[in-house]
């Protein structure tokens, strides 16, 4: 037997002593856990270290919750300010009211802070997180079902959503969020726009996975595709919704927000760099910077070693040549100590050896000069390696 419509849950809050267990909060938490778990796997596949996404989430999640709440309060201020309203309800986040636009915007700031601390590129991290984020949004939409919110106009379609009147047992007053349905007679049957968005989001998840594998997207383009895909669906879903919202020029404010953000995401998707980042970047390093530094350091160290080895070889060779030359000079009555003295520079010893053999008038002077000059050249070559 097929249902003629979709029933709403009798309640969205269960009280256990002084504690209140809220379905909306549970859905949000499950979505966050799923996004972090999947993000970790995708980040590791891109060359990153396990645990990095969790470190980023420590900043991004609180920032995102604050941003989502601020956007909701700013665009639905009439719920918190004015006659009969309590501004302190701004902090009652458990009653629902998170704007995805603010959550992504301020959550992105938190992620940027965390990525900067870890030395990893924010666009690369955003690409790894994108499918998990949209999956978390889909899970979070179940919370709207429990809260009987985010619905459209009346419908007689078989998947229409039944809305019930809920009563707070403690006060006997109507309370759609904290109350319990005492009568299953629907007060309305409406389009379940929360369900439309949930299914659309799952479709975007599949699109991101396919496109990422097919085109090897990087440099923030997976995230841009997520934003474009989500806002495209949100645009037409907003046009169907009839729950209370701030209106601009006769349209819900999120219709304009969706359109503008969609255009920005498409522009980024087109203009962003093609290809995927070097996996080394995911480990908190910059190959261009570190590679050049390492190469320079390696060349410097290697050059230094070459200089030392070259200098040592030149000194040994020079000393050996000078000893030979000195021996030859001694046999011919030349000044041997000057030629064989290895305490001075190679050039000085060359001059002394040349001078000594020249004064002695023997032919071995040219040999000593040649040997000493070669020794000096070897020392220069070693120094060039160090430079």
Question: For the segment 216-263, what is each residue's pLDDT rounded down to a tens digit?
Answer: 999 999 999 999 999 999 999 999 999 888 899 999 999 999 999 999
Please tell me the pTM assigned to this model.
Answer: 0.72
Which has more confidence, 255 or 346? Answer: 255
Q: 2 falls in which pLDDT band (50, 70, 90)?
A: low
Please answer whether residues 45 and 88 qualify as being in contact, where contact means their C-beta atoms are separated by less than 8 angstroms.
Answer: no
Q: Which of 348, 382, 345, 353 has its CA nearest to residue 370? A: 353
At 4 the pLDDT is 77
Top-confidence range, 183-192, 281-290, 314-323, 357-366: 183-192
DSSP string, 176-242: TTT-EES--S-SEEE--HHHHHHHHHHHHHHHHHHHHHHH---TTHHHHHHHHHHHHHHHHHHHHB-
Tens of pLDDT along 115-139? 999 999 999 999 999 999 999 999 9
User: Distance between CA 291 and CA 281 in Å, rounded?
Assistant: 12
Which has more confidence, 252 or 357? Answer: 252
Assign 354 to helix, strand or coil: helix
DSSP 248: E
CB count within 10 Å of CB 385 equals 18
Which has more confidence, 15 or 354? Answer: 15
CA atoms within 13 A on the CB side of 43: 31
Tens of pLDDT along 50-91? 999 999 999 999 999 999 999 999 999 888 998 889 999 999
Which has more confidence, 26 or 97? Answer: 26
At 285 the pLDDT is 58
Which has more confidence, 327 or 145? Answer: 145
User: Distance between CA 38 and CA 28 in Å, rounded?
Assistant: 15
At 26 the pLDDT is 94
Tell whether the torsion through CA atoms of 327, 329, 333 and 336 is positive or negative.
negative
């Amino acid at each position: 037997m097929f249902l003629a419509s979709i029933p709403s849950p009798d309640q969205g809050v269960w009280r256990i002593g002084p504690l209140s267990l809220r379905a909306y909060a549970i859905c949000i938490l499950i979505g966050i856990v799923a996004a972090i778990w999947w993000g970790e796997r995708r980040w590791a596949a891109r060359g990153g270290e396990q645990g990095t996404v969790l470190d980023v989430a420590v900043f991004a999640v609180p920032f995102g919750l604050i941003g989502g709440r601020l956007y909701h309060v700013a665009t639905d201020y009439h719920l918190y300010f004015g006659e009969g309203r309590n501004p302190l309800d701004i902090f009652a986040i458990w009653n629902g009211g998170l704007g995805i636009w603010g959550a992504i915007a301020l959550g992105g700031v938190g992620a940027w802070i965390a990525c900067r601390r870890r030395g990893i590129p924010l666009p690369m991290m955003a690409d790894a997180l994108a499918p998990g984020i949209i999956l978390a949004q889909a899970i979070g939409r179940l919370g709207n079902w429990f809260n009987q919110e985010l619905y459209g106009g009346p419908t007689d379609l078989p998947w229409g959503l039944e809305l019930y009147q809920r009563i707070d047992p403690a006060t006997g007053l109507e309370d759609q969020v904290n109350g319990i349905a005492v009568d299953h007679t629907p007060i309305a049957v409406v389009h379940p726009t929360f369900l439309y968005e949930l299914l659309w989001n799952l479709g975007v998840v599949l699109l991101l996975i396919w496109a990422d594998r097919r085109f090897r997207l990087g440099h923030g383009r997976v995230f841009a595709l997520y934003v474009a895909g989500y806002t495209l669906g949100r645009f037409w879903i907003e046009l169907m919704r009839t729950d209370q919202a701030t209106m601009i020029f006769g349209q819900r404010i999120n219709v304009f927000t969706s359109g503008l953000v969609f255009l920005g995401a498409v522009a980024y998707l087109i203009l962003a760099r093609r290809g995927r980042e070097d996996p080394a970047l995911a480990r908190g390093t910059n190959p261009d910077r570190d590679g050049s530094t390492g190469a320079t350091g390696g060349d410097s160290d290697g050059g230094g070693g070459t200089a030392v080895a070259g200098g040592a070889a030149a000194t040994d060779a020079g000393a050996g040549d000078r000893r030979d030359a000195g021996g030859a000079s001694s046999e011919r009555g030349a000044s041997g100590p000057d030629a064989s003295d290895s305490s001075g520079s190679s050039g000085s010893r060359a001059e002394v050896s040349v001078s000594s053999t020249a004064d002695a008038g023997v032919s071995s002077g040219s040999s000593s000069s040649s040997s000493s000059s070669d020794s000096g050249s070897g020392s220069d070559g070693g120094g060039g390696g160090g430079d």
